[in-house]
Chains A and B, each alone.
Chain A
Amino acid sequence: MKTIHGDMSTQEITKVQELIYTTRVESVMASNVIAIDPSFTMSQVKDLMRDKRISGAPVVKENQVIGIVTISDVIRSMEEGKLNFLVTDLMTSDVRTVSKDAMVTDVVNNLGRQGFSRLPVVDQDGTLVGIVTTGTLIRSLLMQMDKSFQRNEAEKLYTYRASHIFQDISSDDTSLLLRYFVNEKDFDNAGKASSLIKRSLQRLMLLPQIVRRVGVAVYEAEMNLVIHTDIGGEITVEVRKDRVNVSTVDHGPGISDLKQVLQPGFSTAPEWIRDMGFGAGMGLANIRRVSDVMKLTSSPGQGTRLEIVFNFRNDSLATTRSPQKA
């Protein structure tokens, strides 16, 4: 049989650490603290602990924590016949408190290593606002982990249908071809294809940095089709195991000087296009910057073809984050 520890993947341990380092004490404390008035006798403390089923409580005078009394103090008072003594005579007055704004790491260090079983939580003025024990800590961390676990599961379900294609379809080399048609001068829909491409790649669970690079390039390319062609064009996205190939093809006017259009800052866009925030001559430069290979072929009257390749490089940048084939 596996132990609980053995079942815990490194990822889950990291998740706990992350929570401990990023969660504030305020969100893991119990805020309905039972505080004890300094005028109480040990006998009253004993009754209160029994009634409320607690094993310790802070002693509070004018909202400030002046001590802490536990079940072992009660036992000691019974042994020594001091049940009628004031709680202030038998409590521990050297109290370790923790700020509500501190990180949970502080609590973990104090609770575990220093041997404290409860820590009163105070605000900036030292006013008691809550208490943390190992119990409240574990409960709230588990709740938070459960929430993020459910979120991950929902994400997995949503992406499963799309991402399984590379695992379930058998061939020597599977690739997925997505085709989009772009209309010329249609500014209301300009960018729509890119938006759909970005969402599709996300559903295919490509790594976010790849999705982003493809998104930027394909959007610049789509705007080129919208701005510069007179009969629109077509965008093809081929998703393969190790790369994404994008090509845009149009039967527009073509380009006479390929060297010139590749110069950053060179543009033939009319003024009204520039007013929209485009046509600064940075499109192809941007595409080249985010891609691994960019190839532009064109001649006047023959249309233009732009081919862009995005390699996933090594395993750390590989296609999917989904479960790998066994």
Chain B
Amino acid sequence: MNIREMVEVLNGKILVQNHDPDEELPRGGAADLMSDVLAFGSEGMVLLTGLTNPQVVRTAEMAGINVIVFVRDKTPPPETLELARDSCISLIRTGYTMYEACGRLYQAGLPGRGPVRIENNSW
């Protein structure tokens, strides 16, 4: 699935575009907990989240994530948009809830990262 197809599946709107719409997305993931993103995020993954503060962009940058999708039509504050422009991260907004946005993408063929097994994982 490429970025253009994902935006179609999500009925989404591109807020900040830093990537070619034809760029392929290897997999997707969703979290509202930034430590989860750092722990389970993988290079190139698209991140679906309900958080819109600038830290989401920072977290994505550190985890090697290029594309972030905000669910429930949340509009991020200007600082988030600005940081995304500076950090070369693309931002997309969708009207679907987290559950439904994930479901639609998975159904359309965007895989996740499979079962997670992490040592020291006791939370």
Contacts and interface: CB of A to CB of B under 8 A. Distances in A.
A294 to B, nearest CB: 11
Interface in B43-57: 43, 49, 51, 53-56
Contact of B56 (A212, A216, A277): A277
B36 interface: yes
Contact of A265 (B34, B61, B118, B122): B122
Interface of B: 32-36, 38-39, 43, 49, 51, 53-56, 58-59, 61-64, 79, 87, 118-123
A216 B61 contact: no
A212 B43 contact: yes
A217 to B, nearest CB: 9
B58 A265 contact: no
A277 B51 contact: yes
Contacts of B39: 282, 286, 289
A242 B92 CA distance: 40
- Interface residue range, chain A: 20 to 34
Instruction: Specify the main secondary structure of chain A where it touches its partner.
Output: helix
B121 to A, nearest CB: 7
A281 interface: yes
A326 interface: no
B119 A198 contact: no
Contacts of B64: 212
Nearest to A219: B62
12 contacts: A190-B55, A191-B54, A191-B61, A264-B122, A276-B53, A277-B32, A277-B51, A277-B53, A277-B56, A278-B55, A283-B35, A285-B120
Nearest to B57: A191
Given A195-B61, A198-B61, A276-B53, 14 more contacts: A191-B61, A195-B87, A265-B123, A276-B34, A276-B51, A277-B56, A277-B59, A278-B35, A280-B33, A280-B36, A282-B35, A282-B39, A282-B123, A288-B120
A286 B123 contact: no
